């Protein structure tokens, strides 16, 4: 499974001259130590570039901005640290002049009641309000720590850093994103309609590829083609294939090889693929295993050409650094109102299963097109663990992107069925289901083994400008 790349953040150390300068000096050292502990590379002025390596004057703001510009391609977020009150204008000028358009986290270091003399008093409690007021005036969106003042050396601040890093990865990952739309929307699925124009206005492009082109490229590919044979080996090492015909496996391998090449040629990052039922009738396999392998490598792939679905999967994967799946809100689970069965046929990444994943045939479509044409699903039971869910879609009537997120858990409750399925438990689930139906959202939802819903919500609302509902509520 792929791992997220190390993160780099710009750091602005606030300082106001008539407060103790040694607090700015030690504050800079403390925030750098906290970032080092979190595995985050800091880009920050040194004491040879400004007084204490902090920002106070306009000239220091300009130097800070120039430093950030040199690292424009690396910096994914900015941290404003206030070891004392801080010069509010110097902070916002540095952010504006840098022009990075990345998330900003504001942290203020608490005073100690036993050190409230003029030599040690910080007043960052107050300064944080002034800094935030100026960001509001400058139209700079920003994030806050859990507590109004937080010591950089605490575990709580490490958790806030981790959450902020998730926000930054989502915002950065969606910039100039290109989504592959492979095949036409299945006629029976009006629910996966969406607006390419609304996505484009949010910096997200859709690159279409007709299935006829996919099948045509496969037909020209020799059985011993290097890319096809490499993909065949990858399939067999990824999933148990006992009982699956070699001819079907080779078809899957060629399909995967063609999609891989096309995605690289077109700079497409994630994809959504047509399945029902053209793939089975005219090619003779389901694409589930190929899609599962991509999702497992943090390159989400959604079925039924659900482009907003794969976007939602990607947001969760960016936030957590772990694979996402697209599931149906599918069945009630007995009479427990807070539990449900989530299911797909399935193309779930193998990281979702509690046992070794097995390849099988697609039981639903087999009755229509024949079992021999539906090999390629990844079947098993979803393991227990923390769950974040998300669904973002285009609202064509109002020209916006809207969605919902929340946290729950996959449970160990017994379940005997086909495909890939698991039982989920979500607090106040009936309230969520009513919201989904009243707002007219799709039956598809992205899921991830993490607790990153609040980070995805923050990225969507504060930095992407989308509408986002946090279930059941969010106090910020």
Q: Residue 4: pLDDT above 80?
A: no
Residue 1 lies in a domain: no
Query: Does 277 share its domain with 211?
Result: yes
Shared domain for 215 and 130, answered yes or no, is no
Q: Is 422 domain-assigned?
A: yes
Mean pLDDT of the chain: 96
Q: Do residue 454 and residue 346 come from a single domain?
A: yes
pTM of the full structure: 0.96
- Confirm whether 382 is domain-assigned: yes
Residue with the bigger pLDDT between 473 and 27: it is 27
Containing domain of residue 93, as a range?
7-173
Quick one: tokens of 406? 């929340």
176, exposed or middle or buried, with CB in 10 Å at 0-12, 13-18, 19+?
Answer: exposed
Residue 476 lies in a domain: no
In the beta sheet, which residues pair with residue 400? 395
Cβ neighbours of 173 (radius 10 Å): 20
User: What CA–CA distance (Å, rounded) separates 153 from 85?
Assistant: 19
Residues 53 and 197 in one domain: no
C-alpha to C-alpha distances, 290 to 1, 180, 237, 253, 348, nearest whole angstrom: 14, 14, 13, 8, 10
Within a domain: 29: yes
**What is the maximum alpha-carbon separation in the chain?**
82
Average pLDDT estimate for 177-181: 98
Question: In this structure, are 94 and 234 located in the same domain?
Answer: no
Please tell me whether residues 395 and 255 are part of one structural domain. Answer: yes
Strand, coil or helix: what is 8? Answer: strand
> Is residue 348 a contact partner of residue 290, using CB atoms and an 8 Å limit?
no
Final residue of a domain: which of 109, 143, 173? Answer: 173
- CB within 8 A of 402, min separation 6: which ones? 392, 393, 395, 439, 466, 467, 468, 469
Count H helices and E strands in the chain, helices first: 15, 18
The last residue of a domain, from among 120, 146, 173: 173
- Give the pLDDT mean for 244-271: 98
pLDDT band at residue 356 using 50, 70 and 90 as cut-offs = confident
Q: Are residues 127 and 225 in the same domain?
A: no
Q: Residue 18 has what pLDDT? A: 75
Q: What is the CATH number of the domain that holds 99?
A: 3.40.50.10940
| Residue 193 sits in the same domain as residue 333 | yes
**Which range among 111-115, 153-157, 268-272, 425-429 shows the weakest confidence by mean pLDDT?**
111-115
CATH of the domain at 245: 3.40.275.10
Residue 379 has pLDDT above 90, yes or no: yes
pLDDT in tens, 6-44: 899 999 999 987 788 899 999 999 999 999 999 999 999
Q: What percent of the chain has pLDDT over 90?
A: 92
Answer whether residue 473 shows pLDDT above 90. no
Residues 185 and 164 in one domain: no
Cβ proximity of 150 and 136 under 8 Å:
no
CA distance 390 to 309: 9
User: Is 114 contained in some domain?
Assistant: yes
Closest to 87 in 3D by CA, of 56, 59, 50: 56
The DSSP secondary structure of 44-86, one letter per residue, reads ---TTTSGGG-B-SHHHHHHHHHHHHHTTTTEEEEEEEESSS-
How far is residue 114's CA from residue 101's CA, in Å, rounded to a whole number?
40
Chosen domain end from 173, 202, 222:
173
Element (H, E) at 341: strand 339-344
Per-residue pLDDT tens over the stretch 50-74? 999 999 999 999 999 999 999 999 9
Lay out the sheet containing 7-13: strands in order across.
40-43, 7-13, 75-82, 104-108, 143-144
Determine the 3-state secondary structure of 427 from DSSP: coil
Domains held by the chain: number: 2
pLDDT digits 0-9 by tens, 263-317: 999 999 999 999 888 999 999 999 999 999 999 999 999 999 999 999 999 999 9
Q: Cis peptide leading into 472, omega within 30 of 0?
A: yes
Q: Span 388-393, mean pLDDT?
A: 98
Residue 63 and residue 171: Cα distance in Å, rounded?
Answer: 26
Give the count of beta carbons closer than 10 Å to the beta carbon of residue 460: 27
Which of the four pLDDT bands, split at 50, 70 and 90, describes residue 1? low
Let me know if residue 292 belongs to a domain.
yes
Residues 388, 466, single domain; the answer is yes
Looking at residue 118, its pLDDT comes to 76
Residue with structure tokens 């605490």? Answer: 154
| Burial class, 63, CB count within 10 angstroms (exposed 0-12 / middle 13-18 / buried 19+) | middle
Rg (CA), the chain: 25
Virtual torsion, Cα 130, 135, 311, 411, nearest 10 deg: 0
Is residue 159 domain-shared with residue 196, that is, in the same domain?
no
pLDDT digits (tens, 9 = 90+) for 190-203: 999 999 999 999 99
Q: Per mean pLDDT, which range of 9-23, 72-86, 333-347, 420-434 is the poorest?
A: 9-23
Q: Are residues 332 and 429 in the same domain?
A: yes
pLDDT recorded at residue 17: 78
């Amino acid at each position: 499974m792929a791992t997220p790349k190390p993160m780099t953040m710009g750091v602005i150390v606030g300082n106001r001259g008539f407060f103790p300068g040694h607090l700015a000096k030690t504050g800079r050292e403390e925030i750098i130590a906290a970032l080092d502990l979190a595995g985050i590379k800091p880009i920050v002025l040194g004491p040879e570039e400004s007084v204490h390596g902090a920002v106070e004057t306009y000239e220091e703001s300009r130097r800070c901005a120039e430093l950030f510009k040199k690292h424009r391609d690396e910096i994914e977020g900015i941290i404003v640290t206030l070891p004392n009150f801080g010069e509010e204008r110097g902070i916002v000028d540095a952010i504006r002049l840098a022009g990075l358009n990345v998330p900003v986290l504001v942290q203020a270091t608490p005073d100690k009641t036993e050190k409230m003399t003029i030599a040690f008093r910080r007043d960052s409690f107050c300064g944080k309000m002034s800094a935030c007021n100026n960001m509001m005036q400058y139209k700079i969106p920003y994030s806050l720590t859990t507590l109004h003042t937080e010591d950089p050396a605490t575990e709580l601040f490490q958790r806030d850093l981790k959450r902020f890093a998730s926000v930054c990865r989502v915002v950065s990952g969606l910039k100039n994103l290109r989504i592959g739309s492979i095949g036409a929307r299945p006629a029976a699925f009006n629910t996966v309609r969406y607006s390419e124009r609304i996505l484009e206005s949010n910096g997200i492009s859709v690159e279409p590829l007709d299935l006829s082109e996919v099948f045509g490229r496969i037909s020209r590919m020799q059985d011993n083609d290097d890319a096809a044979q490499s993909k065949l080996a990858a399939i067999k090492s990824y999933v148990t294939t006992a009982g699956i015909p070699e001819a079907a496996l080779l078809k899957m391998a060629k399909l995967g090889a063609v999609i891989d090449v096309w995605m690289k040629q077109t700079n497409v990052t994630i994809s959504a693929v047509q399945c029902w039922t053209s793939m089975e009738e005219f090619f003779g396999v389901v694409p589930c295993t190929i899609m599962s392998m991509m999702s497992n490598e943090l390159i989400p792939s959604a079925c039924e050409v659900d482009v907003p679905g794969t976007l939602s999967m990607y947001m969760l994967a960016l936030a957590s650094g772990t694979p996402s799946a697209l599931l149906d809100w599918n069945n009630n689970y007995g009479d427990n109102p807070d539990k449900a069965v989530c299911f797909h046929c399935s193309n779930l990444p193998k990281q979702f299963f509690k046992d070794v994943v097995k390849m099988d045939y697609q039981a639903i479509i087999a009755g229509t097109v024949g079992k021999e044409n539906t090999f390629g699903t990844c079947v098993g039971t979803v393991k227990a663990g923390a769950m974040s869910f998300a669904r973002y879609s285009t609202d064509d009537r109002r020209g916006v992107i809207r969605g919902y997120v929340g946290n729950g858990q996959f449970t160990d409750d017994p379940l005997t069925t086909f495909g890939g399925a698991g039982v989920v438990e979500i607090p106040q689930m009936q309230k969520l289901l009513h919201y989904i139906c009243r707002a007219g959202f799709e039956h598809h939802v992205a899921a991830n083994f993490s607790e990153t819903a609040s980070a995805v919500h923050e990225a969507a609302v504060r930095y992407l400008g989308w509408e986002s509902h946090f279930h059941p509520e969010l106090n910020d």
